[in-house]
A and B are shown apart, each in its own frame.
Chain A
Amino acid sequence: MTDMPARQRPISPHLTIYRLTWTMVMSIVHRVTGSALYFGTLLFTWWLVAAASGAKYFDTANAFFGSWFGQLILLGYTWSLVHHMLGGIRHFIWDTGRGHGPERQTLARMTLIGSVAITILLWAMALLLRS
């Protein structure tokens, strides 16, 4: 048996054959934002260590976060955090046994709309406080 060539068996269909739905996309995005936040903690660690290391190191980190590239990353970081948090609150609603009916569509949409709105609000607040 062992020297027989492996037969090409048909594999079960995966994500590619399904029509995209809101709940499915939000579920995938929850996992993606979670992973992004996981590695994003390295940036937060860098910022904290720079602050603990003195003004010179802190200014270097601040210059990076202040650059257009740094700002882009921070914007994505903010949105990922807010989106993952709202997704988590959605999980809490499911945990109580609610939100599994047709209203799950609304919940999924509210997660995205809410995360974008809160991200814009936070950045507007930061820019207003800065000036």
Chain B
Amino acid sequence: MRTPLSRIRGLGAAHHGTEHFWQQRVTAAANVLLLVVLIGIMVTLVGSTHATVVATLSKPLVAVLLVAAIISVSIHMRLGMQIIIEDYVHTPFRKVVLLMLNTFFTWGVALTCIYAVLKISFGL
């Protein structure tokens, strides 16, 4: 005898349950908190010299917040673009290729940005 709860746990058509939905919400909440702070910092950096920008970005707190934002934003935009592809592309081959490119693009952006932040933070 299975309870209704145990039957829906981790299931659904894709066997992922509400994971996609929930991850999108968690990263959305993180994005709001992180980006409000980072937009504030970016506003102060408008028109600054290279030395000033590097000095600000190498502060440990700023660097950690930036890396956190990059990770959260990348997951969020991978999930978002996945939905758009699944909504509009119905040819199986094209869909699989685009979904793969979506993963490559978002990981590429994330790793490049994190590398740049760490390089700045640890000293050029």
Contacts and interface: CB of A to CB of B under 8 A. Distances in A.
Q: Do A and B share a complex?
A: yes
Interface of A: 31, 34-35, 37-38, 41-42, 44-45, 48-49, 51-52, 54-55, 58-59, 66, 81, 85, 88-89, 91-92, 95, 122, 125-127, 129-130
A96 to B, nearest CB: 11
Task: Report whether over half of chain B's contact residues are helix, strand or loop; otherwise say mixed.
Answer: helix
Give the top 4 A-B pairs by smallest Cβ distance, nearest first: A48-B116, A55-B50, A52-B116, A126-B46
Contacts of A89: 32
B120 A122 contact: no
Contacts of A81: 35, 39
A48 B46 CA distance: 14
Contacts, number: 75
B39 A52 contact: no
Per DSSP, chain A at the interface is helix
Contacts of B51: 55
Q: How large is the interface on B (under 10, 10 to 19, 20 to 34, 35 or more residues)?
A: 20 to 34
Nearest to B81: A38
Interface string B80-92: 1100100000000
A45 to B, nearest CB: 5
